[in-house]
């Protein structure tokens, strides 16, 4: 074989070998494979885990799928139909309170109100919280101003109605049932009542010693 023929052979072999990766890529683009794709940099993308219905030696009953803890109630399936949880008794809104109203309860209500309600309704309940101020500044056309508590309408709402507004929201207001426990919702109701009274007091609400100090 002449040197020339050898070089020609060598070039042909190099060309064929160089075509292999290209051919493999072309093949994998048109064929399907049940195998996971090549994934050299793992970054914890794949971790050991159990699939449903598998078994393990870790638990005495060898079940991977653990039974719910006794007493577990599926979300939304707990039957709570008493006044404390719904604000409704015998089909009517509760007008009093299903728990004792103490100073501690109102203080708790004040704290929860300041966190959850004041951003919209304002510290004094006029519907002028910071969120409302900002929405007005941005002239948001879809913004509905939070209701002021200081109208006869809201003053005359039964306590249970306000409790229900906090739990489930009302019209454009979102519910806070997932953020405040029933106890805290009643605490907020009591504080909303305190706010209303603070802005709508009569002379009879003023202790006598302060009345006498008037000129």
Contacts to ligand HEC by CB under 6 A: 116-117, 119-121, 131, 144, 146-147, 154, 157, 162, 165-166, 170-173, 176, 188, 192
Query: Considering beta carbons, is residue 63 or 84 the nearer one to ligand HEC?
Result: 84
19's enclosing H/E stretch is: helix 3-30
Minimum CB separation of residue 133 from ligand HEC in Å reads 12
For residue 67, count CB atoms less than 10 angstroms from its CB and return exposed for 0-12, middle for 13-18, buried for 19 or more.
exposed
105's enclosing H/E stretch is: helix 103-116
Minimum CB separation of residue 57 from ligand HEC in Å reads 49
CA nearest to 147, candidates 122, 164, 113 = 122
Query: Considering beta carbons, is residue 152 or 209 the nearer one to ligand HEC?
Result: 152
Query: Considering beta carbons, is residue 63 or 145 the nearer one to ligand HEC?
Result: 145
Query: Considering beta carbons, is residue 170 or 194 the nearer one to ligand HEC?
Result: 170
Query: Considering beta carbons, is residue 64 or 126 the nearer one to ligand HEC?
Result: 126
CA nearest to 165, candidates 132, 197, 145, 188 = 188
Minimum CB separation of residue 201 from ligand HEC in Å reads 19
Minimum CB separation of residue 59 from ligand HEC in Å reads 42
Query: Length of the chain, please?
Result: 215
Contact, 121 vs 149, CB < 8 A?
Answer: yes
Minimum CB separation of residue 198 from ligand HEC in Å reads 15
Minimum CB separation of residue 100 from ligand HEC in Å reads 20
- Residue found under tokens 């993308």: 45
Q: CA quadruple 9, 10, 11, 17: dihedral positive or negative?
A: positive
Query: Considering beta carbons, is residue 28 or 151 the nearer one to ligand HEC?
Result: 151
Quick one: CA torsion of 96, 97, 98, 102, rounded to 10 degrees? -140
């Amino acid at each position: 074989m002449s040197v020339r023929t050898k070089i020609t052979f060598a070039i042909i072999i190099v060309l064929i070998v160089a075509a292999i990766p290209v051919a493999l890529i072309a093949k994998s683009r048109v064929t399907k494979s049940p195998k996971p794709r090549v994934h050299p940099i793992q970054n914890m993308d794949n971790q050991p885990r159990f699939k449903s219905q598998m078994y393990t030696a870790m638990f005495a009953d060898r079940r991977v799928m653990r039974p719910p803890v006794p007493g577990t109630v599926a979300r939304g399936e707990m039957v709570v139909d008493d006044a404390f949880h719904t604000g409704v008794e015998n089909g009517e809104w509760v007008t009093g309170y299903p728990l004792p109203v103490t100073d501690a309860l109102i203080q708790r209500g004040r704290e929860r109100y300041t966190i959850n309600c004041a951003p919209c309704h304002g510290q004094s309940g006029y519907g002028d919280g910071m969120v409302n101020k900002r929405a007005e500044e941005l002239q948001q056309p879809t913004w509905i101003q939070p209701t002021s508590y200081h109208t006869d309408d809201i003053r005359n709402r039964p306590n249970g109605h306000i409790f229900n507004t906090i739990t489930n929201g009302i019209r454009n207001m979102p519910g806070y049932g997932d953020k405040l426990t029933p106890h805290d919702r009643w605490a907020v109701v009591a504080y909303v009542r305190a706010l209303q009274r603070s802005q709508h007091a009569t002379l009879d609400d003023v202790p006598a010693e302060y009345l006498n100090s008037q000129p």
